[in-house]
Amino acid sequence: MEYTKGTVVSVQTIAPGIIDMLVKAPGIAKEAKPGQFVCLYCDDNAHLLPRPISICESMNGHLRLVFRIVGFGTAEFAEKKSGDPITILGPVGNGYPEIETDDVTVVGGGIGIPPMLYLSRKLKEQGKNVTIVLGFRDKGTFLVDAFENYGKVVIATDDGSLGVHGTVVDAIRELGISVETVCACGPMPMLKGLASYTEQNGGTALISLEERMACGIGACLGCITKTKDIDGHSHVKNARICTEGPVFDSKVLDFSRS
């Protein structure tokens, strides 16, 4: 991990409440892998804890960060201007491992969609056959055009206004999409359903968990998830999402305790 002052290149709104920020941070960008995140720090000293933001893209010394405005910190970041400094810690966490299968299904839901763009690009560069399933509430989508550069895109919407009416699991089941290897990020109900369907059909689900974090470096135990085996750090059936994760094989997680 590197603690550095990045420079904001651009900030734009790409959907209601969804911000697309480009930051120059060569050291972090060079090391970043799909599935990792960065911690952004507020300028206001009254707000000491960083905000974890997933890495949407990393290229040419720059990080692309796409996030939803949910509170003070993200609202502050959304007001940044080109040339503004921003304090960053990263890259943080364990990203997606090397994928051995030729066919990979990439799944994103809600604000779990942005980090799947970097992964999709890397998989395409490796010659994988990539199918991308994106879940939205309605037809107010974002980043779809970018995903289309890296594989076949399928959209599912909760209200049926675009694509398959239902969840990403409904879309996968209805269209017979392979679940031999699934890489996903999104809200917990989506991940639980996707992991269950994938495991029942003999596949592997590599899922990135979204969770509120405090320190972001594994010291506070504020972002734990329940596991089936005892963790070597805490000596109980927990794992730290910011350190052991955020990406896990679904088979090691105990969703019944989540």
Q: Compute the average pLDDT of residues 120-125.
A: 98
Phi, psi angle pair for 220, to nearest 5°: -95, -15
Phi, psi angle pair for 50, to nearest 5°: -75, 165
Count of positions (residues) in the chain = 258
Mean pLDDT of the chain: 92
Model pLDDT, residue 35: 96
Model pLDDT, residue 253: 87
> What's the pLDDT tens digit per position in 217-255?
667 777 777 777 776 666 778 878 777 869 999 998 887
Q: In 56-77, which positions are buried (b, 16+ CB within 10 angstroms) versus exposed (e)? A: bbbeeebbbbbbbbeeebbebb
Domains of the chain: 2-91 (2.40.30.10), 96-210 (3.40.50.80), 212-258 (2.10.240.10)
Contacts of 178 (CB under 8 A, 6+ apart): 103, 105, 131, 203
Query: How many other CB atoms sit within 10 Å of the CB of residue 42?
Result: 19
Reading the block at residue 12, the tokens are 């734009």
Burial bucket for residue 200 (CB in 10 Å: 0-12, 13-18, 19+):
exposed
Reading the block at residue 42, the tokens are 């507020």
Model pLDDT, residue 223: 73
What dihedral angle (degrees, nearest 10) is formed by the CA atoms of 64, 120, 93, 156?
Answer: 90
Percent of the chain with pLDDT over 70: 92
Query: How many other CB atoms sit within 10 Å of the CB of residue 229?
Result: 9
Residue 46 pLDDT exceeds 80? no
Residue 142 pLDDT exceeds 70? yes
Q: For residue 57, what are the CA distances in angstroms to 27, 87, 146?
A: 14, 18, 11
Reading the block at residue 62, the tokens are 């720059």
Residue 149 pLDDT exceeds 90? yes
Q: Compute the average pLDDT of residues 169-179.
A: 97
Between CA 15 and CA 234 the distance in angstroms is 40
Binning pLDDT at 50, 70 and 90, where does residue 176 land?
very high
